[in-house]
Homo-oligomer: A and B are copies of this chain.
Amino acid sequence: MTDLFPEKGHDHGRCIDSALRQAEDVAEANNARFTDMRRRVFTLIWQSHKAITAYELLDSLQAEGVRAQPPTVYRALEFLVGLGLIHRIESLNAYFGCDMPHHEHLGQYFICRNCGRVAEAVNDDMSSAVHAAARAVGFRIEATTIEIKGLCHDCATH
């Protein structure tokens, strides 16, 4: 069994570096400016594998000495979501970093209620079940929200 969630003692600095590198690539490929503010917000989101709320981000920015207001944060979030660099978790009103921003995908999110971590899956069986169900009732899909709450393997077994 492969756990979607990162290993306990993994080198998270590498996650952050890799995410930043990919984000810069994607931004460049889209002719979009990965400004300082956007980089700050993105980096804060990647401080953990948990989802983080807009106001938690705002607090962190202010703690760093950045004079930011809610619109600043929401604009950065809008930009990052728009490029697919982060995803919004509807059931948490929170955001977390995507680790495969290069290809378009409809992801599914596993959310552990104990450790708070979020993991993204791109599972064809889930996707095709959803699309088949939609086709069967003549529904034209534009967006999907699939959020699965419970206990991750670590939290369920320890």
Question: A residues near B, CB below 8 A?
Answer: 1-5, 90-91, 108, 110, 112-113, 119, 121, 123, 125-126, 128-130, 132-134, 136-153, 156-157
Contacts and interface: CB of A to CB of B under 8 A. Distances in A.
Contacts of A134: 110, 148, 150
Contacts of A108: 130, 133
21 contacts: A1-B138, A91-B145, A108-B130, A121-B133, A123-B133, A125-B129, A126-B126, A130-B148, A134-B150, A137-B153, A138-B152, A139-B148, A139-B151, A139-B156, A140-B150, A142-B150, A142-B151, A143-B149, A144-B146, A145-B146, A146-B147
Nearest to A148: B144
A89 to B, nearest CB: 9
Nearest to A139: B110
A35 to B, nearest CB: 28
A126 B132 CA distance: 9
Contact of A90 (B110, B140, B141, B147): B147
Kindly report how many copies of this chain are found in the complex they form together: 2
A145 B128 CA distance: 17
A34 B81 CA distance: 42
Residues of A contacting B: mostly: mixed
Contacts of A139: 4, 110, 112, 148, 150-153, 156
A156 B141 CA distance: 10
B150 A147 contact: no
A142 B133 CA distance: 23
